[in-house]
Structure formats: C-alpha cells, structure tokens
Structure 1
Amino acid sequence: MTYLGEIHSRLLDHRPIIQGETRYFVKEFEEKRGLREVRVLENLKNVIQETNEQILPKCTETMQDYLSQTLQRLQAASHLVYKLQQKEQEQRKLNNQHLLISEKQRITQWEDFMTEQHNKQAAVDEEHRKATERLKEQYAEMEKDLAKFSSF
C-alpha cells in the first residue's frame, strides 16, 4: 500500500508543486516588482484622475461649442435649402402657367392657320371651278366656231 500511496502522491497530488509555484510567484511579485508595480499603478491613477478632472471637461466643453456651431450652420443651411426649394416650386408654377398659356396660344394660332388654309383652299377651289367653267365655255364657243367653219 505504501508503494501505491507513493505513486498516487507523485502522479495525482500536485499540492506540493502548486504551493512551491505560489510561494515563488508571491516572492517574485512582492520582493522584486512590488514597488515598481505600485509606482506604475500610482502613475495610472494620477493620469486617470487628471483626465477625469481636466482633459475630459475641456473636451466636453469644446465638443459642445463645436456641436452648437455645427447645429447653427446646419439650421442655416437647411433654411437656405428650404428657400431654394420654394423658389424652385414657384418657378415651376410660373413655367407651367407660361407653358399652358403658350400652348393655348399655339392651339389658337393652329386653329386660325387651319381656318385660313381651309378658306384659301375653298378660294382656290372656287377659282379653279370658275377657270374650268370659263375654259369649258371657251372650248364650247371654239367648237361652235369650228363647226361653222367646217360646214362651209
């Protein structure tokens, strides 16, 4: 049994090794690094305290100033864009009205043109009819004259 106990303690009982490592770590940390680590931690504490008390308020104040200025500029730009949109809408309305008026004028001009063309066509047709009538009469008279001369 003692032999089995020794095997067990060597293979499975790690307490002596862990205790030795723990003592070495504590000795290393407390004796060799103790003051250096405390100084590093103290410096970190001072930097964090300075940051919280001085730098952070300055940054917050500066940020709020710039944000305020930026907000004012954005509001001014938004107002200008709104004015431009209104002007553009007014211009579109004017253009649409002008286009409607122009379209009505063109329709009226087109109707007048078509009426004039119809009247001219009627006049030309009438003139053509009259010229045709005259030619028929002239040819009828010529045939009568031709018939007179041929009967001789």
Structure 2
Amino acid sequence: MDKIIKDVGDIQSRLLDHRPVINAEIRYFVREFEEKRAHRESRLLESMSKVVQEANEEVLPSDLEGVKQQLSNIIARLNAANHMAERVQQRELETHQSGQLQENIGRLKDEWADFVKEQQRLKEEVSQEHAEAVRQVSTLYSEKKKELEQLLADV
C-alpha cells in the first residue's frame, strides 16, 4: 500500500508541479531579454541623442524667428480686439442708461410676479390632488386590513 501511495505522489508531482519548468523558462526569458534588449536600447538612445542635437543646432533657431513673427502678429490682433471690445462695452453702457431698458425691467418684473402667482396656484392644486389621493389610498388600505383581520379571525 505504501508503494502505491508513493507512486501516486510521484505521478501527481510530475503532472501538477510545473515550478521547475516555469523557473527554467523564466531564467531563459530574462537572459534573452537582458542580452538582446540591452544592445538595442543603447543604439536607440544614441540615435535619439543625435536627433536632439541636430534639432538644437539647426531647427530651433529657425523656428524661433517664426515664433517671434507670429507673436508680433498675435499681439497686434489682440490690441485691435481689445479696442473693439472697449467700443462695444461703451455702447452697451449707453444702452443700459437709456429709458428703454428701465421699461423692459419693469415689464419683466410684472411678468415674473404673474409667473410666481401661477406657480403657487398650480402648487396648491397639486397638493390638494395629492392629499385626496393619499386619503383614498389610506381608506383602501384600512378596508383591506379590516378584511384581512376578519379572514384571519374566521380561520
């Protein structure tokens, strides 16, 4: 019996214990990755360094001149837009001070008061309808409760 148990244990360890195989695969992967990847990474870094140096020496100075030109154009446009905004603001101020605006404000206040009154009336209607519905539901449930108590008493 002991031999059978030992054989079953050996079979189980061979079939289900994959740690030795997995460890070997992990070591192989790490070795391959470190050896082959290291050379590729250093070449990539060297080429990137060359590209950055070229950009600093050649591309950057020419781009700075273009940026300066564009910034001067943008500043001129912003100044023009600022001037136009000031003119619009001045016109708006003049309009605000006119009597037409005061009339509109008074009319809007009256309309708002009418709106608030209508909303209050609608609120009261809804509250009354809700109270009636609650009363009906309460009556229905009290009747059902009485019927249930009577049925339980009869049983």
Normalising by structure 2, we get a TM-score of 0.39
More RCO (CA 8 Å, sep 6+) = 2
The two structures have a TM-score, normalised by structure 1, of 0.40
Larger radius of gyration: 1
